[in-house]
Amino acid sequence: MKVVMAITGLIMVGFLLMHMYGNLKVFLGADAFNHYAHWLKGDILYPLVPSGWFIWIFRLVMLASIVAHIWSAAVLTGRAHAARSTKYVTTKRLSQTYAARTMRWGGVILLVGLIFHLLQFTTQTVQTGFTAGAEPYEMTVGAFGNWWLVLLYAVWVGIVCSHVRHGVWSALTTLGANTSPAARSFLNGLAWVIAVVLFVGFMIMPLAVLFGWVN
């Protein structure tokens, strides 16, 4: 179960890094950003797979990863609770980090944020500063002109990055990389670098829109 969590988690971190990098295309202008967004849903990997197939393969892999990740988290949580019939006498936290302590509830909030994100930008059901049918550039710039949305995203992306910080460390430990004190510091550093790069990389675009550097 831990290995399933580790592998599906790392697949999703890979997606996040690519998504963050892709979002930065907004700085190249409307044409570049829209072209990139349409390419993702059209000719990516063509002619290896027919045009338009990649996005659905990607969505299937994502959905399978999310379901397997949550399912193993739920089973492991159930087992952990079943293993103790009484509560711990002391509630004092010893060495757990904040990110480690908030993995379960943080994961739930992350998922709620993701559902909002998809309703907003993928299905355009929740329209914040744009109208249905807006092109990706127009939609993104319209949305992040709202300071409250930028704030909401900062909190959500912060929760995602905290989850990733502990998750990367935990996944690599599960997969056997935590073999010495030096390896331990390396994994810790790597997890921090990935989390910080993701936070800065994701937030730079909404902030640039809010402050009018991208319009």
Give contact residues for ligand HEM (rule: CB under 6 A): 16, 19, 23, 37, 59, 62, 114, 117-118, 121-122, 136, 140, 153, 157, 160, 202-203, 205-206
Q: How far is the CB of 68 from ligand HEM (least distance, A)?
A: 16
The smaller minimum CB distance to ligand HEM, of residues 80 and 111, is found at 111
Task: Please check whether residue 106 is in contact with residue 171, taking contact to mean a CB–CB distance below 8 angstroms.
Answer: no
The smaller minimum CB distance to ligand HEM, of residues 71 and 186, is found at 71
- Taking phi over 0 as left and psi of -120 to 50 as alpha, with beta for the rest, 96 belongs to beta
The smaller minimum CB distance to ligand HEM, of residues 187 and 214, is found at 214
The smaller minimum CB distance to ligand HEM, of residues 5 and 205, is found at 205
> Residue 213 in 3-state DSSP?
coil
In Å, how far are 18, 118, 147 from 68, measured between CA atoms?
Answer: 21, 20, 35
Q: How far is the CB of 143 from ligand HEM (least distance, A)?
A: 8
Q: How far is the CB of 63 from ligand HEM (least distance, A)?
A: 9
In Å, how far are 12, 130, 153, 164, 205 from 126, measured between CA atoms?
Answer: 24, 9, 15, 27, 20
Spell out the alpha helix ranges (H) of the chain: 2-23, 30-41, 54-82, 98-101, 103-117, 136-143, 147-174, 181-210
The smaller minimum CB distance to ligand HEM, of residues 80 and 112, is found at 112
Q: How far is the CB of 178 from ligand HEM (least distance, A)?
A: 25
**From CA 113, how far away is CA 118, in angstroms rounded?**
9
Task: Please check whether residue 138 is in contact with residue 128, taking contact to mean a CB–CB distance below 8 angstroms.
Answer: no
Q: How far is the CB of 89 from ligand HEM (least distance, A)?
A: 38
Question: What size, in residues, is the chain?
Answer: 215
The smaller minimum CB distance to ligand HEM, of residues 38 and 93, is found at 38
Q: How far is the CB of 163 from ligand HEM (least distance, A)?
A: 9
